[in-house]
Amino acid sequence: MKPMPKALKVLNWITSALFVVALYLVLFYAPRETVMGDVQRVFYFHVAAGWVGGLAFLVTAIASGVYLTRGDHRWDQVALASVEIGLVFTFANIVSGSVWARPIWNTWWTWDPRLVTASIMELVYIAYLLLRQGVEDPDRRARFGAVYGIVGFISVPITFLSIRIFRTIHPVVIGSGDLSATGSFNMVPEMRVAFFFSLFTFTFIYATFLWHRLRLQRLAEKVEHMKMKVVSE
């Protein structure tokens, strides 16, 4: 395996430093929300994790489209790597939202449009991985995955818009939400700084993970190639 590129090492350090600063801003710089108390601080990373989920699935859709157009296998690798990261962050988003909901909505879970659409989105992309595992031929696997990666992306805007279209108790912090939403709050300037810095930091975390995941993918292919070579000898 090739040694880690210098640019990736630098990215690792930048991401780590950004994460420490983001933690400081979220835990100490942003003021405690008057009604909800400390649990409101979870919101900064909860939204940032959701943002990374959506971004990762968008990258998958774009990479899938490029793969279908050019037939370059590397784009299929990007799509796959991005789905895996998107699933991880969407899971963190859903579970952290559930933890926030317990003291604010007095329940861990409710069949609210946002919670349901986010869970369906997660399941759609778990199915993407299952589909790929079920196809033996690498070219067919990549083609099927690419088509699914594009079609499955429909679940992302539906999830984003669900709290803006349907009647919901999920708060909309940016833009106007439903009057029945519980847990809404107005962000003071310090909160906005912590919020946007968290989004920025999580975008860096995504980029760093994607690079590492792609290197892992290449290593796996190298091992597979070696296996075939040894077996054929």
Partner 1 sequence: MFLQETTANTFNYMILGFGVILGVIVFYLISLVARFRNLNHDLELLNEIEVDGRK
Range 183-212, binding partner 1 (CB under 8 A)? 205, 209, 212
Range 4-33, binding partner 1 (CB under 8 A)? 32-33
Among residues 38, 72, 139, 190, the one that binds partner 1 under rule CB under 8 A: 38
For the packed helices 73-105 and 189-232, what is the interaxial angle rounded to 10 degrees? 140
- Asked if 110 interacts with partner 1 (CB under 8 A), we say no
- Asked if 2 interacts with partner 1 (CB under 8 A), we say no
CA dihedral 13, 19, 24, 27 (to 10 degrees): -160
Nearest to 83 by CA among 4, 29, 155, 184: 155
Q: Please give the Cα distance from 40 to 31 (Å, whole number).
A: 10
Name, in order, each residue with C-beta under 8 angstroms of 149's C-beta and a sequence gap of 6 or more: 60, 61, 63, 64, 79, 83, 128
CB of 102 to partner 1, least distance (A): 6
Q: Please give the Cα distance from 220 to 214 (Å, whole number).
A: 10
Residues 137-176, mask of contacts with partner 1 (x by CB under 8 A):
----------------------------------------
Q: Residue numbers of the site for partner 1 (CB under 8 A)? A: 1, 32-42, 45-46, 49, 85, 88-89, 91-92, 95-96, 99-100, 102-104, 182, 205, 209, 212-213, 216, 219-220, 222-223, 226-227, 229-230, 233
